[in-house]
Amino acid sequence: MKKVVIITGLTGSGKSALAMKLCKEYSGEIISADSVQIYKRLDIGSAKASKAEMSSVSHHLIDILNFDETFNVSEFITLCSDALNKIVFNGHIPFIVGGTGLYVKALVEGYNFSNAVGHEDFRRECEDLAIENGNIAVWNKLNELNPEKAKAVHPNNLKRVIRYLEIEMFGEEKKKQESILKDYDVLCLGIIDDREKIYDKINKRVEEMIKLGLEQEVSALIKSGAKREDQSMNTIGYKEWFDYFEGKVTLERTIELIKQHSRNYCKRQLTFLKTIPNIQLVNLKEGEEKIREFLNDRNK
């Protein structure tokens, strides 16, 4: 059976570097499951692979949209399916890599809409997200899943937005769409680590992004017409800069907000990872061992 490796996990956990290493050893190609890396020119803030790295290992679903375009889970599934077919046709192994849990969950279990029942933990998570990042952050999650439904509700109608999200993510429909991975032998890993270690890595990574020129990257995007309402700009590492360029906050505060929002996102990622079917939560070393065992087992 055709094999596919899924490596998701916490921000800053090292999943991309692990995927690059193993793709070189096992003739793999990477399909990005990252909702920011799909955008051109959003490079530093999305921790996108360098051009040298992408020349050594083929990448898919990176740099496919302009900053003013929108994208959702349904489109991701369609493009991911096309990429899977191409990679398998080339005789290579697909590695689906990224921290956007909604994408990975949709891949693994297929779509599951309407007739939702209550999910209190999920509702509290959404409410916490609204407190931390504003109601628009929750509305954007709905917009990723179902743009038409998102248009029908105001972002500030938080209760209704959360209910619609709940339906999209946990409900059932009479004809559930099958997972596009149903004909594959799938290994799905979520890379996690000690929280304090991850937080330290996140803080250091943000500082490195600043050194690499994140401020200049965002400034150039804004000068090209990017707005805080754009889906691409309402993401961690980019949305925090608008108040800075408008003179409302200091550079130091902007950097601290990026770190804080990244840490908060890490918490939400861990909660969401646990909802993905058949996922194995492992540290980086365990993840590498499991992937090698999986790919070396020729009988599967």
Tell me what the mean pLDDT of segment 267-280 comes to: 91
Q: For residues 18 and 66, give the distance between their C-alpha atoms in angstroms, rounded to a whole number.
A: 28
The label of the residue with tokens 């628009």 reads 136
Closest residue by Cα to residue 231 from 59, 28, 89, 38 = 38
Three-state secondary-structure class, residue 300:
coil
Give the predicted TM-score (pTM) of the model: 0.80
Q: For residues 283 and 296, give the distance between their C-alpha atoms in angstroms, rounded to a whole number.
A: 20
Tell me what the mean pLDDT of segment 96-115 comes to: 80
Token pair of 294 as six digits: 């999986």
Tell me what the mean pLDDT of segment 214-231 comes to: 96
Residues 6+ apart with CB under 8 A from 173: 111, 112, 113, 114, 115
Q: For the segment 52-61, what is each residue's pLDDT rounded down to a tens digit?
A: 899 999 999 9
What pLDDT does residue 173 have?
44
Does the pLDDT at position 227 exceed 90? yes
Does the pLDDT at position 15 exceed 90? yes
Q: For the segment 125-176, what is each residue's pLDDT rounded down to a tens digit?
A: 788 788 778 899 999 989 888 888 888 889 988 888 988 888 887 764 434 5
Question: DSSP letter at 39?
Answer: B
What pLDDT does residue 116 have?
45
Does the pLDDT at position 30 exceed 60? yes
Lowest mean pLDDT among 28-37, 113-122, 287-296: 113-122
**Which of 20-24's residues contact partners 24+ apart within 8 Å by CB, and which partners?**
20/49, 20/53, 20/56, 20/57, 21/288, 22/95, 22/288, 22/291, 22/292, 22/295, 23/57, 23/93, 23/95, 24/56, 24/57
Three-state secondary-structure class, residue 100:
coil
